[in-house]
Structure 1
């Protein structure tokens, strides 16, 4: 007796993945069109309602200038997410230039670039970011550059490992044997196959960059006031942490929730696409 083989169904995403996706979508909407989520101004001062605790009217409470904290968190999504995406893109660009050059050139060039990457990787990223900010001064652009350069060495190691692994694959040798030019082999075969597993790693990097940027702002070295970037909100609220807990706890929880959600989506992509070589 023969049996019919049923087609294999793809596993449905877990509840955690769905929740993480909803959080990320909410943050994207807040960053692109904050007016859809709130009609209040993040800079509107109301001295009659300063340091009000969370309530139905002000779900996140108000700050020392009477500004609605939830509104400031929503409008701050654009800067925080912009730093995360911009820093990750900058780090990836640097990593591709260094990683591909090292893996394809080989020899002395590979050795020199690898030593530079290892030294930079061993140097604490936070201290490197502080050095860049000390030179350029705190600003949104400086935060992106500082976090991006601090993240680049780790990505460069991954890119180099992926290129070396894919370079030895049989289809690369077959494409070269068929007479394809070196540039065509790199563009059509080597680059897409080497970069595909790194998509998930870059997703993880966005959450990490948001946390790093918030840490710099908390130290007063990120985006300067009156910015509503999430780390700047933490920096402004720490002066009232003993009397107005919501100024620190609620923006901090938002940072943690967004970072965890982006990381969860990155892990899901990593499981589906495969990990990257170190």
Structure 2
């Protein structure tokens, strides 16, 4: 066999072709910086996010204050860095809660069938008909604004969409040929589910959950912008937008710069989710 006819496999490809793309590398860099800011903000800034300096109020971005200052003289970049912990906690917590609810409903409906499947499916469809933001507002109205409430609100609002995907994925795997073959060989139902159904159904959904983290951060920021999120003086990103809207006509940086951070982080997490989705072979439903 000649060199030109040698089949190209993942191992035979040059190492450069297996490197992440530029977009993926930049997304990893952004997400890495956010993780550092959330875990150890002191590595990125030595200022306090709540230190008030009335002699430095509403300063435009400069070398000393790259993101400017707010109406209390607090360094905005410092507040964005410290706020990443709460924003990331909301994104991860809300997505985890939503997927937990979705997994229980989706697996129960798909594996039970009959009346149970019909009832759960109708409940999911009714909940899915309501906008996620409306469900979040309902939860916050009942419990009152706080970090935990915001996580619960965004999680419940996101759960119906995930539940539909979980149910569809489980049904697709359950009807696959290898499942029928395992059953025909005499294997019991629960070992088949544990060894074949759950891993194959969950693998493509991991990428979907990753995509949901960025969406949860954006939704939580929207709730905080409406004054229904973490109360001030929290540096959570949506709360920064809510505080800055009073000065949007005179101090543009209070809205634009935190908003760009939210968009950049959401796009980066989404890009990583898409990359993971392509690697795992999952597809959005």
Interval of TM-score (by shorter of Structure 1 and Structure 2): over 0.9
Report whether the alignment pairs 1:37 with 2:38. no
Which residue, out of 21, 24, 36, partners 1:14? 21
Deviation (angstroms), 1:6: 5.7
- How much does 1:219 deviate? 0.1
What is the CA–CA distance in structure 1 between the aligned matches of 2:188 and 2:235, rounded to whole Å?
51
Would you say 1:212 and 2:213 are equivalent positions?
no
Aligned partner of 1:5 in structure 2 is 6
Deviation, structure 1 residue 179: 4.0
Match of 1:168 in 2: 175
Q: What displacement does 1:193 show? A: 0.5
Distance in 2 between residues matched to 1:46 and 1:146, nearest whole Å: 35
Q: Deviations over 1:196-222 (max 9, x none)?
A: 001111111000000000000000001
Structure 1 stretch 249-258 or stretch 261-270: which is displaced more? Answer: 261-270
User: What is the DSSP-based 3-state SS (H/G/I as helix, E as strand, rest coil) of the residue aligned with 2:27?
Assistant: helix
Change (3 A) 1:44 1:82: same
1:86 aligned partner:
93
Deviation at 1:271, TM superposition (A): 1.5
Tell me the distance in 2 between the aligned counterparts of 1:253 and 1:94.
31
Provide the aligned C-alpha RMSD in A: 1.4
Question: Post-superposition shift, 1:277?
Answer: 6.2
Equivalent residue in structure 1 for 2:110, among 103, 121, 124: 103
Of 237, 259, 279, the match for 1:252:
259
Residues 1-278 of structure 1 correspond to what in structure 2 (within 5 A)? 2-3=2-3, 5=6, 7-8=8-9, 9=13, 11-276=18-283, 278=285
Does the Cα contact within 8 Å between 1:234 and 1:248 map onto a contact in 2? Answer: yes
Once residues 81 and 238 of structure 1 are traced to their aligned partners in structure 2, the CA distance between those partners, rounded to angstroms, is 22
CA distance in 2, matches of 1:43, 1:162: 47
Q: 1:48-102 CA distances to partner (integer Å, 9 max, x unpaired)?
A: 1111111101100111111110000000000000000000000000000000000
Give the stretch that moved more between structures: 175-184 or 80-89: 175-184
| Structure 1: gaps (5+ residues) | none
Contact preservation (8 Å) 2:218, 2:262:
yes
- For residues 180 and 226 of structure 1, the distance between their equivalents in structure 2, rounded to whole angstroms, comes to 59
TM-score between the two structures when normalised by the length of structure 2: 0.94
Task: Give the Å deviation of 1:7.
Answer: 4.4
Structure 2 residues not aligned, in runs of 5+:
none
Q: Residues 144, 228 of structure 1: CA spacing in aligned structure 2 closer, same or farther, 3 A cutoff?
A: same
Scaled by the length of structure 1, the TM-score of the pair is: 0.96
Matches of 1:276 and 1:59 in 2, distance apart? 40
SS at match of 1:197: helix
